[in-house]
Amino acid sequence: MDMRHTMTGDTNGTLGRREVLKGAGATGLVLTAGCVGSDEEPAETSTPESTVYEIGMVNSLTGSLADFGTYNKRGMELALESINEVGIDGGTLEIIVEDSESLPDAGVSAAQKLATQDQVPFVIGAVGSGVSTSIYESVIEGSDIVQLSQNSTSASLTDYPGLLRMSPPGGPQVQVLSDVIAEDGNGSVAVAWVNNDFGQSQRDGFLEAWGGEVAYESPHDQEQSSYSSVVAEMANSGADAWVFLTYQEQTALMLSDAFSNAYEAAFYGSDSAKGPSVLENTPSGSIEGMKTVEPSAAVDQANYQSFASRFEEAYGTAPTSWSSFAYDCVITAALSILTAEEFTGSALGGTVRGVTASPGTTVTTYAEAVEALDGGGPDAIDYDGVSGPIDFDENGDPVGAFQVFEVSDDEYTSLGTRSA
């Protein structure tokens, strides 16, 4: 089914958990007949009707991953502005956003709605590896829909070559984390990991990479009412370093419990254990020196610096790497649409890898890409995003680097970028 359509009314708004978002540059709307409270015929407009391309996004608007979802949404909004200021062959892009509630079952329901009711051929989603793989298995696999995850790092996604992701896999991330812990002189670790696909994958990768003693390692549930027993067991293990392979909410609760009980250790975490809610929900100074590792955007590149400036101007805060991944997902989707013969999942699946790979002309913005394409196909360009080069491999994984952060004066400070 060709999902291109001519917009004849205002579809922007909120419908339950749904949001329809379009960039500020979207123009060419044709008024629907009649306005509320008026019997007059609508005035004719000379603005031509414009083609609107609707795609979907499954995002964490609520739940334990909502902090990631907030930054995702902001990156998406800036990408829509960049796209719709230029246009897609005279048309505009809209994104229907559904909430996963940070849970696999709700994520599947959100994706099913996008697939069956909205009939989108391209879904960006989701936040959380378990949510993303559940969507792929239940909705995407065997359908005529492309799935590109903005925030999924589990190694298990490599087993789903039809599920693309913008963030690099977690195996190299926990290798870097293991290296940092060892370089700091720690000989033993206590590992707390969340009991789901993401946590299991991070745990397995970390233990494989770690060459020292494992004094304690155990899973915990995402919705536990208390983590005091986990914290007590970590303390009783006598480990030099505590490693949190879990989410911000759970990390903050465990760290606060450790502080209230005067437990002492060096604290470390993966990307999911870092974020504003950890700083906001732990006592001031209680996690000084904690180090985390997360996938890194291309912070030294001009296109990232321009993106970061726009982000700070719009939202009053610096972007995260997750903002850049969401931004690049939307730009990649738009370039796939622009270079496809038709607006179908099969056609977009044939272009989504090409627009981000060699040997095309390297471009770093959507506007540059449109100019370089000049009517050409996906192989004419190689989009290097604000998150860095993408170049999806045969498993749908991108290349990537990682950034190390340390908490200093209740703020995250970058210690630099490195690879595994």
What does the pLDDT read at residue 365?
A: 97
What does the pLDDT read at residue 34?
A: 29
What does the pLDDT read at residue 254?
A: 97
In 3-state terms, what secondary structure has residue 243?
A: strand
What does the pLDDT read at residue 38?
A: 38
The average pLDDT across 64-81 equals 95
What does the pLDDT read at residue 153?
A: 82
Of 17 and 201, which is predicted with more confidence? 201
Q: What angle do CA 53, 57, 59 make, to 5 degrees?
A: 160
Of 239 and 222, which is predicted with more confidence? 239
Q: Which domains does the chain have, with CATH numbers?
A: 5-169+302-383 (3.40.50.2300), 171-296+401-418 (3.40.50.2300)
At residue 173 the predicted structure's pLDDT band, cuts being 50, 70 and 90, is: confident
Q: Say what the pTM is.
A: 0.74
At residue 72 the predicted structure's pLDDT band, cuts being 50, 70 and 90, is: very high
The average pLDDT across 166-190 equals 92
Residue among 63, 61, 49, 52 at smallest CA distance from 14: 61
**Residue whose entry in the numeric block shows the structure tokens 């991108």:** 398
**Alpha carbons 277 and 305: distance in angstroms, whole number:** 25
Question: Given a cut of 60, is residue 373 above it in pLDDT?
Answer: yes
Question: Given a cut of 70, is residue 332 above it in pLDDT?
Answer: yes
**Alpha carbons 378 and 381: distance in angstroms, whole number:** 6
Would you call the peptide bond into 265 cis, given omega within 30 degrees of 0 as the criterion?
no
Distances (CA, A) of 130 to 62, 73, 108, 202, 359: 16, 20, 11, 12, 34
Render pLDDT for 22-45 as a digit per residue (tens, 0 to 9).
554 444 432 222 233 334 444 444
The tokens for 17 are 């958990």
Percent of the chain with pLDDT over 90: 69
Residue among 59, 199, 142, 147 at smallest CA distance from 392: 147
Question: Given a cut of 70, is residue 6 above it in pLDDT?
Answer: no
Mean pLDDT, the chain, integer: 87
In 3-state terms, what secondary structure has residue 114?
A: helix
At residue 188 the predicted structure's pLDDT band, cuts being 50, 70 and 90, is: very high
**Alpha carbons 354 and 207: distance in angstroms, whole number:** 36
The tokens for 96 are 């229907």
| Backbone dihedral angles phi then psi of residue 417, each to the nearest 5 degrees | -110, 140
The average pLDDT across 304-316 equals 96
10 Å CB burial of residue 51 (0-12, 13-18, 19+) is middle
What does the pLDDT read at residue 21?
A: 65
The average pLDDT across 287-311 equals 92
**Alpha carbons 389 and 401: distance in angstroms, whole number:** 10
At residue 13 the predicted structure's pLDDT band, cuts being 50, 70 and 90, is: very low
At residue 49 the predicted structure's pLDDT band, cuts being 50, 70 and 90, is: low
What does the pLDDT read at residue 156?
A: 81
Q: Which of 35-49, 135-149, 238-252, 320-334 has the lowest mean pLDDT?
A: 35-49
CA 224 to the chain's CA centroid? 25
Of 62 and 30, which is predicted with more confidence? 62
**Residue whose entry in the numeric block shows the structure tokens 């609707």:** 54
What does the pLDDT read at residue 420?
A: 62
Distances (CA, A) of 134 to 110, 295, 397: 11, 23, 18
What does the pLDDT read at residue 19?
A: 61
Tally Cβ neighbours within 10 Å of residue 13.
Answer: 8
Query: Which pairing describes strands 122-124 and 146-149: parallel, antiparallel, or unpaired?
Result: parallel
The average pLDDT across 355-364 equals 92
